[in-house]
A = this chain, B = another copy of it.
Amino acid sequence: MFPVMILIDPQLGRNIGNTARAMLNCGLQELRLVRPPLNWLNENTRALSAGADIVLDNAQCFENVESATADLHRLYATTARHRDMVQEVMTPRHFAKTVTPLYQSGQRIGVLFGPEKCGLENDDLGRVKGVIKIPVNPEFSSFNLSQAVLILAYEIFLASSLNDSRESHLNHGNSDLAKKEEVDGFLDQLLDELDKAGYLRPEHKKSIMQRNLRNIFSRIDMTSQEVRTLRGVVSSLVNPNGIFSRPRRRPR
């Protein structure tokens, strides 16, 4: 299935309508919204979608990014700004070429888009495998939200029909590539243990330290087994020879 477009804190219903139209123009149908406006699905939204009801009616709403991305294997984010975070930065075209063989072989891919005015927060950027930077006039770089979605959807649509993308293959089985919820579970465990251990101090640097750690592990493709192994590593470090040294499932 095509990648999922995920709008975080979208502020305007019209942008959601335009986004739905742009997505369906390019064959994409799966839209997720994190904290959209209460009345986002109104007549104006529908009018601007120009008939892309299948996208609007199936759009899923979430309270946070974590839950919106739990079932995905790989997460990317769009941003126009340079950040100081250590991350792969790619063009929409490179992104599309990279993920096409992945989603065509069953992986679920998601792309995060920040709110209209301020873009994504660093904490969200710390959750992703890589950052997509849309090439833009440096003197007028603020993209409309639905226009940014269109560029991504367009490149995905084009890459899906190019032979070269189908000719590339992953050189490992992907059936057990870890989902984001597994990685998040491990990270929660790790950060929790680090917090208890007094590592995340001083307090005002805590969130940055957490983000940087999330960022490191979000950039790796891990299998479920590898995540379980890491959980076991943390558990056994914290509790050597203890009854909790075997990995536990994260409570749902």
In residues 94-117 of chain A, which contact B (Cβ within 8 Å)? none
Is there a chain B Cβ closer than 8 Å to A39's Cβ? no
Contact B150 A27 (CB under 8 A): no
Is there a chain B Cβ closer than 8 Å to A137's Cβ? yes
Shortest Cβ gap from A134 to chain B (Å): 8
Pick the contact of A151 from B27, B143, B154 — CB < 8 Å? B154
Is there a chain B Cβ closer than 8 Å to A50's Cβ? yes
Query: What are the interface flags for A143-170 relative to B under an 8 Å C-beta threshold, 1 for contact and 0 otherwise?
Result: 1101100110010011001000000000
Q: A135-B157, A135-B158, A158-B135 are in contact. Are A51 and B151 (CB under 8 A)?
A: no
Contact B141 A25 (CB under 8 A): yes
Shortest Cβ gap from A59 to chain B (Å): 16
Is there a chain B Cβ closer than 8 Å to A236's Cβ? no
Contact B136 A25 (CB under 8 A): yes
Shortest Cβ gap from A69 to chain B (Å): 25
Q: Within the oligomer, what is the number of copies of this chain?
A: 2
Shortest Cβ gap from A45 to chain B (Å): 14
* Chain A contact residue count (CB 8 A cutoff): 27
Supply 9 A–B pairs (Cβ within 8 Å), ascending by A. Answer: A21-B144, A22-B147, A25-B147, A93-B158, A135-B158, A136-B157, A150-B150, A150-B151, A154-B154
Query: Which positions in A face B, CB cutoff 8 Å?
Result: 18, 21-22, 24-27, 50-52, 93, 135-137, 140-144, 146-147, 150-151, 154, 157-158, 161
Contact B135 A50 (CB under 8 A): no
Pick the contact of A143 from B25, B93, B140, B157 — CB < 8 Å? B25
Shortest Cβ gap from A84 to chain B (Å): 24
Complex contacts, A18 vs chain B, CB 8 Å? 144, 147
User: Please, how many angstroms separate the alpha-carbon atoms of A158 and B154 in the complex?
Assistant: 14
CB-based nearest B residue for A141: B25
